[in-house]
Amino acid sequence: MVSKKNKLSIVQQCRLLKVSRSSIYHRVAPPSDDDLKLMQLIDQIHLSRPYLGVRRITDSLCDSGEATNHKRVYRLMKQMGIQAIYPKPNTSKKHPKNKIYPYLLRGLTINQPNHVWATDITYVPMSSGFVYLTVIMDWYSRKVLSWRVSNSMDSQFCVDALEEAIHHYGKPAIFNSDQGSQFTSDIFTQVLKENDIRISMDGKAAWRDNVFVERLWRSIKYEEIYLNAYDSVTEAKAGIKAWLNFYNEERKHQTLGTTPSLMYDNLSGQLAA
């Protein structure tokens, strides 16, 4: 048994036991109840005012009676995968294998289904813990074509959602996402390339480039997620599935004047005919 209390170093213990050093890692403790509560409050503030940074979110929390500091808020925001939205120079170093593609939607008229699809990831709080949700949305009709829930922000659950959407609905001419590592990864962009789909990516920190998915996050969180403290991932999936079915099939979109499914299916049928 490898232990830090042993007089030998971790490396020496692994060598003697003939186990890989990389297989021995520190187990991160799950977030405390206080952290989970604070994460949900941070999510609500970020959703309503995405331009607020760590210090202003900290100020807002303190003003509402939450005892916290900017270091803790920064740590939790990093864990949630969110950051302030504001114009700034690109000082981060991109992974050399992760190509960033230009934004193709500026000035583009999108007047039919499957012209442009979009995607994003959001944080979903539960009564104990949290998960991440991704969707594939048809830009024209606002229909959610597929979705996945994961307990980590890896690329695979995004790939699974993309492949399911292509399997059931064909393929779009253009696919738009942000510059997140999940969407710039080789396994994700390879699916797009294999299907001859043009790749479009939002400008850095330009959330308005993907505004329709951002609006979906606001709706599902205030109408479903914040109202239900899911006790398990299974319960979270069931609640999200029920709401997305309602959104697609029953909830009339204010701008479109009809449901996303009717908007998508009716025009898709006309184009096929």
Condensed to tens digits (0 to 9), the pLDDT of residues 106-151 reads 889 999 999 999 999 999 999 888 999 999 999 999 999 999 999 9
Closest by CA to 149, choosing from 129, 167, 172, 169, is 129
Asked whether residue 12 carries a pLDDT value surpassing 70, the answer given is: no
List b or e across 199-210, with b for residues whose CB sees 16 or more CB atoms inside 10 angstroms: bbbbbebbbebb
Closest by CA to 177, choosing from 206, 213, 202, is 202
Average pLDDT over residues 43-66: 88
Tokens for 273? 């005919």
Average pLDDT over residues 30-53: 85
- pTM, two decimals, is 0.76
DSSP structural state of residue 141 = T
Closest by CA to 148, choosing from 114, 189, 174, 119, is 119
CA gap 178, 200 in Å, rounded: 8
Residue type, 44: Q
- For residue 87, the model assigns a pLDDT of 46
* Top-confidence residue, 268 or 53: 53
For 4, list phi and psi in degrees, rounded to 5.
Answer: -70, -20
CA gap 260, 263 in Å, rounded: 5
116-272 is classed CATH 3.40.190.80: no
Three-class SS of residue 232?
A: coil
Tokens for 98? 């992760």
Q: At what angle do helices 70-80 and 54-63 cross, to 10 degrees?
A: 110
Banded pLDDT at 78 (limits 50, 70, 90):
confident
State the chain's mean pLDDT as an integer. Answer: 84
Average pLDDT over residues 75-96: 62
Tell me how far CA of residue 57 lies from CA of 37, 41, 221, in angstroms: 14, 10, 19
- For residue 25, the model assigns a pLDDT of 47
Banded pLDDT at 22 (limits 50, 70, 90):
very low
DSSP structural state of residue 101 = P
Condensed to tens digits (0 to 9), the pLDDT of residues 178-235 reads 888 899 999 999 999 999 999 999 865 554 557 889 899 999 999 999 999 899 999 9
